[in-house]
């Protein structure tokens, strides 16, 4: 699949209605239609997501907000093709994920999305530069590893192993690894969850920068403060979408954040 | 009590969560326990079976044996020992070499053997009794209507019926009425040093009068067996018998031995002890592998549980109660291993019993359950995993609570090799770099896994290398025997005759004989100096340059005024001699016209060594034949058949000549040795399966643990779209590297194990110059098996990889 041609594809499958805050010039990158995800846990059926509709545009910096158990990580996993919806359809970058073959889902993850995790999930046997190189290798992208590391402020830490880096630095390596894939969608699950405030802010700045550069960024968090810097806030509670729109009081500068 | 159950249940849940590894480690402990228990049982069975068998057949305590060709009038030997205190009963016998023709149908079966004449009056023999296994025993009626019995091992090898007819030299056909065991042939040994020689040596027992008639020695005997009163010291009695004989027959040369010096007895009991050493070595290696594997597993489980231990510390739990759970877990693994081990032990025992019974059949064979062996092995099996767990638990509970509570990837640890790892420049993609990096960044873990594997592989190398060494030793012998005219025949004469007499000429003139060389074989002794023990040898006098066969002479030195002797390399080594040195040799001297020999000691010069691995063969050139009292005498003729001759027909023709005791292919002994080795190594081959199973289990365990530990790495790869096959490829490469490392360690340890096993065998069988050898095929097979078994182990984890719950795994915080 050609990652550069997704906008055109998505235009051709668009359905009504547009989400709040939609920019007419932007293509839809994520489209969820009446998506439900149920699990069987110890003989009990748990509904993690119930009939969620969602549309996210190219270049949007969206925050999925909600308390623990609200379904926000499930939503991210469905968009990233790590999980499968019980019902409804998930379409990402023009590719219908629901019902896709396993082989195609691997291909989709290689070419379309990249992940950032709360606990970084760097490969401990690889240096910072090699971890970033991994992203490029997997996606077969021709990324400039050193430039990306410099962009995230780690030009001088390229040969350090993860255990030699601070938590904030590790998360920046994780972002660099995601960027090296050159995939159009970045999915971040509680990216500041294990970081101190200062490191967390640096990470948010980096993510924001990616959105401004045209990447679609979805951040899942329970930290309401983070949602203030987003273009759009999708709030979940008990598996239901309870609100969707720009942050209350408008988008705040990152410098105004505190937690 | 309730508290104990709580802890036990919790520990059991920990085990259940890792059941594949737990099952593997339990099986590893089981193999260690089971093999050890099974091998221990084998020794106990043999000890009891041998003791009871010798007791049942009232084996002799002392034997007096005159040299070949030497006889005395019946009653002479009995008279000499009559009145000796401590002697309960004594019997004279006539023991002569013979050839047995047991051909049936189209199968020609002509083998050398021994004809033993025994006193069958009053249900005798009363010493070295006959234990009938088919047909019936000898009775006095077999004196008038001649009948004999056949030794059972020989009959079994060739599936001979319990009664029939055999041919003896001189065209005699005689019925055999049964097959039987007799103590001297519980293991069939021959004068030439072969043991387990039943395929090539037939023992025929006859009433004494019949044997005397058949051997042309009416009224003569050459053997006395003595049974002592209970409690009488055998060595003291042996001295008394020697003195009594010397007093009565001063010129008589006789060999006086106790039952402990009987070749079969020595081989059986010595072999048992030697086997036990080998088995102990194998069991030790297997247990070592089990301990390391247990250590590896428990270390990793404890590491994986460190946060839980940290929580315990944070909650103020005492250290010993924190340690209790992993220790209980180790106890449960050990218990499981021991329970499995009893099953494995029974399986091993059944297998070994079958191997043993076919290899060493005895009149009494006890194979009862050896509870003490199982208890001993079970105690070790129980203890070792617990001991192996102590260190990782001790390490874990000494960590400050805050460090134990800290979350982070298990593998994100500093390693001593970090600075070196950075220098490993990536070639190819980062995915290809990962396996090597993963191995090097956790050296302790890698080394432990490699050593565990190495221990299992070394057990395999030890066992197979032991077989190789035996084979190499035999091959060296076979090569020597098959030098010269390879299809030559060895014709043994019924006694020592002058070469100028007609027998040798008749043999040489037989149609089909191209060349014939006479030789004289007699018993002798190479006398050691100071503390060096003397060595009994067969001295063979022959033309050392004849065309039929002569020994390969190495390190030859020119002859001198002293008679020259060619020793086996092993004999020269054991006596501390090199070519050119002089030693004293005790040898018989034939007195003209006499029926018995005297013996003298004289110095001889070592003029070379020969490579035959059995040290009891020494050669002199026939230029020195006069030293033996009679010039140009022979009791053996080596015959080279003409090209195109039917060798079987030639054997028959030679066998029918007067004065010929046997005619057989010279390499028959080589074939018999090879056959012996096949069966002797049966136990080792049986063990080979278990050590291979062990290596596979350890490999699987290492791989399964690796997959568990790297679960989050793999989930991350899947999140980035790496396919399971690519992940499997990385795991396989990593496993292959560990396999290679483990196999290298195993080969190194295995070489040491082989040396240890062979040195044990050499000390128990001093007559054999054992060669330490590990065949190239063993090395290649070991590398292939070791590396491939470990490399293949990740395949068993592929299903788990494919079915991984990626979202859950990504969120796991160790």
B237-250 confidence digits (pLDDT tens): 999 999 999 998 88
Are the beta carbons of A163 and B719 separated by less than 8 Å?
Answer: no
Strands B87-101, B110-118: pairing is: antiparallel
* pLDDT at residue B388 in the model: 77
Reported confidence tier of residue B411, pLDDT bands at 50, 70, 90: very low
| A126 vs B434, B720, B810: nearest CB | B434
B652-707 confidence digits (pLDDT tens): 888 888 888 778 888 776 666 666 666 666 666 777 777 777 777 777 777 777 77
Q: Tell me which of B416, B418, B430, B812 to substitute to probe the interface with A (most A C-beta atoms closer than 10 Å).
A: B430
B204-214 confidence digits (pLDDT tens): 999 999 999 99
Which of the given ranges, B377-386, B583-592, B769-778, has the highest pLDDT on average? B769-778
Are the beta carbons of A111 and B721 separated by less than 8 Å?
Answer: yes
| A124 vs B412, B426, B430: nearest CB | B412
Between the alpha carbon of residue A228 and those of residues A188, A249, A257, B662, the distances in Å are 16, 8, 8, 109
Scanning every residue of chain A, which has its alpha carbon at the shortest distance from the alpha carbon of B806?
A82
Please choose, from the candidates B663, B793, B810, B638, the residue with its C-alpha nearest in 3D space to the C-alpha of residue B728: B793
**CB B507, CB B626: distance < 8 Å:** no
* pLDDT at residue B423 in the model: 65
* pLDDT at residue B184 in the model: 94
Question: Which residues in chain A have their CB less than 8 angstroms from residue B433's CB?
Answer: 125-126, 130
- To the nearest whole angstrom, how far is the Cα of B717 from the nearest Cα of chain A? 9
| A124 vs B409, B426, B715: nearest CB | B409
pLDDT above 90 covers what percent of chain B? 30
* pLDDT at residue A31 in the model: 95
Question: Which residues in chain A have their CB less than 8 angstroms from residue B418's CB?
Answer: 161, 164
Please choose, from the candidates B802, B694, B675, the residue with its C-alpha nearest in 3D space to the C-alpha of residue B154: B675
Are the beta carbons of A138 and B422 separated by less than 8 Å?
Answer: no
Least confident of A137-151, B361-375, B416-430: B416-430
Strands B582-590, B597-610: pairing is: antiparallel
* pLDDT at residue B410 in the model: 42
Question: Which residues in chain A have their CB less than 8 angstroms from residue B801's CB?
Answer: none
Q: Which ipTM score applies to this complex?
A: 0.86
| A163 vs B414, B717, B721: nearest CB | B414
> What contacts B575, CB < 8 A, 6 or more positions away?
B526, B528, B529, B532, B535, B567, B583
Residue B125, preceding bond cis, omega within 30 degrees?
yes
Are the beta carbons of B811 and A118 separated by less than 8 Å?
Answer: yes
* pLDDT at residue B412 in the model: 42
- Average pLDDT for B174-201: 82
> What contacts B199, CB < 8 A, 6 or more positions away?
B111, B154, B157, B158, B671, B672, B675
- Output phi, psi for A180, to 5 deg: -65, -20
Structural Rg of chain A based on CA atoms: 18
Are the beta carbons of A119 and B813 separated by less than 8 Å?
Answer: yes
* H-run or E-run covering B605: strand B597-610
* pLDDT at residue B169 in the model: 77
Reported confidence tier of residue A12, pLDDT bands at 50, 70, 90: very low
Are the beta carbons of A82 and B431 separated by less than 8 Å?
Answer: no
Are the beta carbons of B810 and A82 separated by less than 8 Å?
Answer: yes
| A115 vs B429, B434, B719: nearest CB | B719
Q: What predicted TM-score, i.e. pTM, was given to this entire model?
A: 0.69
Least confident of A95-99, A154-158, B406-410, B729-733: B406-410
| B433 vs A107, A130, A194: nearest CB | A130
As a whole number of angstroms, the distance between CA A187 and CA A195 comes to: 18
- Ranges of beta strands (E only) in chain A are 28-41, 44-57, 61-65, 87-92, 95-96, 113-116, 185-189, 216-221, 232-237, 240-245
As a whole number of angstroms, the distance between CA B200 and CA B400 comes to: 74
* pLDDT for residue B598 is more than 80: no
- Average pLDDT for B560-581: 92
- Average pLDDT for B61-89: 92
- Average pLDDT for B178-194: 83
A71-101 confidence digits (pLDDT tens): 999 999 999 999 999 999 999 999 999 989 9
B628-645 confidence digits (pLDDT tens): 876 678 889 999 999 988
Which of the given ranges, A135-149, B273-287, B527-541, has the highest pLDDT on average? A135-149
| B723 vs A106, A122, A133: nearest CB | A106
Are the beta carbons of A133 and B712 separated by less than 8 Å?
Answer: no
Scanning every residue of chain B, which has its alpha carbon at the shortest distance from the alpha carbon of A118?
B811
- Output phi, psi for B512, to 5 deg: 100, -10
- Average pLDDT for B189-194: 63
* pLDDT for residue A114 is more than 70: yes
* pLDDT for residue B286 is more than 90: no
Are the beta carbons of B441 and A124 separated by less than 8 Å?
Answer: yes
Q: Tell me which of A124, A141, A180 to substitute to probe the interface with B (most B C-beta atoms closer than 10 Å).
A: A124
Scanning every residue of chain A, which has its alpha carbon at the shortest distance from the alpha carbon of B803?
A102
B158-183 confidence digits (pLDDT tens): 889 999 999 987 778 999 999 999 99
* pLDDT at residue B814 in the model: 43
Reported confidence tier of residue B90, pLDDT bands at 50, 70, 90: very high
Average pLDDT, chain B: 84
Are the beta carbons of B429 and A127 separated by less than 8 Å?
Answer: no
- Average pLDDT for B339-347: 84
Least confident of A17-21, A97-101, A226-230, B96-100: A17-21
Reported confidence tier of residue B375, pLDDT bands at 50, 70, 90: confident
| B441 vs A77, A125, A131: nearest CB | A125
Reported confidence tier of residue B424, pLDDT bands at 50, 70, 90: low
Please choose, from the candidates B785, B781, B50, the residue with its C-alpha nearest in 3D space to the C-alpha of residue B360: B50
* pLDDT for residue A4 is more than 60: no
Question: Which residues in chain B have their CB less than 8 angstroms from residue A163's CB?
Answer: 412-414
- To the nearest whole angstrom, how far is the Cα of B720 from the nearest Cα of chain A? 6
| B430 vs A109, A130, A164: nearest CB | A130
* pLDDT for residue B373 is more than 90: no
DSSP-derived secondary structure letter, B528: P
* pLDDT for residue A238 is more than 80: yes
- Average pLDDT for B528-541: 85
- Average pLDDT for B497-514: 90
Are the beta carbons of B433 and A159 separated by less than 8 Å?
Answer: no
* pLDDT for residue B108 is more than 80: no
- To the nearest whole angstrom, how far is the Cα of B554 from the nearest Cα of chain A? 60
* pLDDT for residue A2 is more than 80: no
* pLDDT at residue B81 in the model: 94
Could you give the dihedral angle defined by the CA atoms of residues B293, B297, B303 and B305, in that order, rounded to the nearest 10 degrees? -160
* pLDDT for residue A5 is more than 70: no
Reported confidence tier of residue B498, pLDDT bands at 50, 70, 90: confident
- To the nearest whole angstrom, how far is the Cα of B410 from the nearest Cα of chain A? 9
Strands B202-207, B110-118: pairing is: parallel
B756-809 confidence digits (pLDDT tens): 878 877 776 777 788 888 989 888 888 887 888 778 888 888 888 888 989 888
> How many Å separate Cα B332 from the centre of its chain?
37
**Better-scored residue on pLDDT, B521 or B414:** B521
A151-176 confidence digits (pLDDT tens): 898 989 999 989 899 988 999 999 99
As a whole number of angstroms, the distance between CA A7 and CA A155 comes to: 33
Reported confidence tier of residue B405, pLDDT bands at 50, 70, 90: low
- To the nearest whole angstrom, how far is the Cα of B696 from the nearest Cα of chain A? 27
Q: Tell me which of B810, B812, B813, B814 to substitute to probe the interface with A (most A C-beta atoms closer than 10 Å).
A: B810
Reported confidence tier of residue B16, pLDDT bands at 50, 70, 90: confident
| A137 vs B407, B431, B438: nearest CB | B431
**Better-scored residue on pLDDT, B226 or B448:** B226
As a whole number of angstroms, the distance between CA B102 and CA B160 comes to: 8
Are the beta carbons of B713 and A77 separated by less than 8 Å?
Answer: no
As a whole number of angstroms, the distance between CA B638 and CA B547 comes to: 10
**Residues of B within an 8 Å Cβ radius of A:** 407-409, 411-414, 418, 421-422, 426, 429-431, 433-434, 437-438, 440-441, 712-713, 715-723, 806-807, 810-811, 813
* pLDDT for residue B44 is more than 70: yes
């Amino acid at each position: 699949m050609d990652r550069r041609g997704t906008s055109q594809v998505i235009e051709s499958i668009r359905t009504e209605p547009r989400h709040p805050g939609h920019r007419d010039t932007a293509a839809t990158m994520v489209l969820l239609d009446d998506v439900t995800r149920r699990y069987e846990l110890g003989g009990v059926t748990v509904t993690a997501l119930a009939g969620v509709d969602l549309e996210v545009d190219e270049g949007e910096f969206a925050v999925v907000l909600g308390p623990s158990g609200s379904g926000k990580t499930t939503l991210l996993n469905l968009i990233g093709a790590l999980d499968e919806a019980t019902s409804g359809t998930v379409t990402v970058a023009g590719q219908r994920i629901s019902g896709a073959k396993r082989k195609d889902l691997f291909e989709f993850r290689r070419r379309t999305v990249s992940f950032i995790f709360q606990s970084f999930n760097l490969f401990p046997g690889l240096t910072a530069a090699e971890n970033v190189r991994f992203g490029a290798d997997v996606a077969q992208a021709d990324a400039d590893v050193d430039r990306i590391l410099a962009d995230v402020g780690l030009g001088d830490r390229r040969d350090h192993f993860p255990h030699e880096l601070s938590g904030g630095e590790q998360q920046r390596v994780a972002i660099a690894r995601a960027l090296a894939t050159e995939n159009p969608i970045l999915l971040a699950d509680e990216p500041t969850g294990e970081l101190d405030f200062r490191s967390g802010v640096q990470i948010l700045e980096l993510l924001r920068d990616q959105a401004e550069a045209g990447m679609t960024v979805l951040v899942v968090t329970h930290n309401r403060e983070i949602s203030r810097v987003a273009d759009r806030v999708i709030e979940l509670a008990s598996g239901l979408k309870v609100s969707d729109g720009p942050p209350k009081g408008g988008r705040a500068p990152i410098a105004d954040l505190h937690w | 009590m309730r508290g104990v159950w709580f802890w036990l249940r919790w520990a059991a849940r920990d085990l259940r969560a890792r059941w594949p590894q737990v099952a593997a480690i339990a099986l590893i402990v089981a193999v260690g326990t089971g093999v050890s228990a099974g091998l221990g049982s084998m020794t106990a069975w043999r000890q009891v079976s041998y003791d009871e068998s010798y007791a049942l057949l009232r084996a002799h305590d002392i034997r007096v044996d005159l040299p070949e060709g030497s006889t005395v009038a019946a009653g002479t030997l009995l008279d000499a020992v009559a009145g000796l205190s401590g002697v309960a009963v004594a019997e004279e016998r006539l023991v002569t070499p013979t050839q047995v023709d047991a051909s049936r149908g189209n199968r020609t079966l002509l083998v050398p053997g021994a004809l033993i004449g025994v006193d069958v009056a009053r249900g005798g023999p009363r010493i070295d009794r006959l234990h009938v296994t088919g047909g019936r025993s000898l009775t006095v009626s077999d004196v008038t209507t001649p009948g004999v019995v056949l030794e059972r091992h020989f009959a079994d090898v060739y599936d001979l019926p319990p009664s029939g007819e055999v041919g003896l030299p001189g065209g005699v056909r005689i019925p055999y009425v049964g097959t039987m065991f007799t103590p001297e042939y519980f293991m069939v040994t021959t004068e030439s040093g072969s043991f387990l020689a039943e395929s090539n040596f037939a023992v025929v027992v006859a009433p004494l009068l019949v044997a005397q008639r058949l051997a042309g020695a009416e009224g003569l005997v050459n053997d006395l067996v003595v049974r002592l009163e209970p409690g009488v010291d055998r060595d003291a009695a042996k001295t008394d018998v020697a003195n009594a004989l010397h007093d009565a027959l001063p010129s008589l040369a006789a060999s006086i031995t106790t039952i402990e010096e009987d070749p079969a007895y020595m081989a059986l009991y010595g072999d048992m002890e030697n086997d036990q050493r080998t088995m102990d070595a194998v069991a030790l290696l297997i247990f070592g592998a089990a301990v390391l594997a247990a250590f590896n597993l428990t270390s990793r489980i404890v590491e994986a549980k460190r946060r839980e231990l940290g929580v315990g510390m944070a909650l103020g739990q005492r250290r010993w109660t924190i340690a209790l759970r992993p220790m209980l877990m180790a106890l449960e693994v050990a218990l499981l291993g021991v329970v499995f081990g009893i099953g494995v032990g029974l399986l091993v025992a059944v297998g070994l019993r079958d191997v043993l019974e076919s290899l060493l059949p005895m009149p009494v064979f006890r194979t009862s359950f050896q509870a003490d062996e199982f208890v001993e092995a079970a105690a070790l099996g129980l203890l070792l995993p617990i001991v192996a767990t102590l260190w990782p638990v001790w390490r874990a509970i000494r960590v400050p609570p805050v460090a134990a509570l800290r979350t982070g990837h298990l593998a994100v640890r500093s390693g001593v090799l970090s600075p070196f790892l950075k220098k490993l420049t990536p070639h190819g993609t980062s995915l290809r770099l990962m396996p090597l990096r993963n191995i090097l960044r956790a050296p302790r873990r890698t080394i432990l896994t490699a050593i565990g594997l190495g221990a299992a592989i070394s057990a395999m190398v030890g066992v197979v290398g032991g077989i190789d060494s035996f084979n190499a030793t035999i091959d060296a012998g076979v090569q020597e025997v098959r030098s010269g005219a390879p299809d030559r025949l060895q014709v043994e004469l019924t006694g020592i005759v002058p070469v100028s007499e007609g027998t040798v000429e008749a043999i040489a003139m037989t149609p089909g004989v191209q060349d014939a060389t006479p030789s004289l074989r007699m018993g002798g002794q190479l006398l050691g100096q100071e503390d060096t023990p003397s060595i009994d040898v067969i001295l063979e006098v022959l033309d050392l340059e004849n065309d039929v066969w002569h020994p390969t002479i190495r390190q030859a030195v020119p002859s001198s005024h002293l008679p020259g002797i060619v020793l086996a390399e092993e004999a020269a080594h054991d006596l501390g001699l090199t070519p050119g040195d002089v030693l004293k040799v005790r040898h018989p001297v034939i007195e003209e016209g006499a029926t018995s020999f005297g013996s003298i000691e004289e110095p001889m010069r070592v003029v070379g060594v020969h490579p035959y691995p059995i040290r009891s063969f020494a050669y002199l050139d026939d230029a020195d034949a006069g030293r033996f009292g009679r010039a140009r005498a022979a009791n053996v003729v080596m015959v080279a058949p003409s090209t195109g001759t039917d060798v079987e027909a030639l054997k028959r023709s030679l066998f029918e000549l007067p004065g010929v005791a046997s005619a057989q292919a010279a390499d028959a002994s080589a074939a018999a040795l090879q056959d012996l080795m096949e069966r002797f190594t049966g136990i080792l081959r049986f063990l080979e399966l278990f050590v291979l199973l062990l290596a596979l289990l350890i490999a699987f365990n290492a791989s399964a643990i690796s997959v568990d530990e790297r679960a989050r790495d793999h989930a991350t790869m899947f999140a980035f779209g790496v396919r399971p096959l690519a992940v499997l490829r990385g795991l396989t490469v990593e496993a292959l590297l560990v396999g290679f490392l483990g196999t290298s360690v195993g080969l190194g340890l295995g070489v040491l194990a082989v040396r240890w096993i062979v040195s044990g065998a050499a000390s128990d069988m001093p007559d054999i110059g054992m060669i330490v050898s590990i065949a190239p095929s063993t090395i290649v097979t070991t590398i292939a098996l070791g590396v491939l078994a470990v490399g293949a182990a990740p395949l068993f984890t592929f299903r788990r990889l494919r079915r991984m719950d990626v979202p859950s795994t990504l969120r796991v915080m160790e």
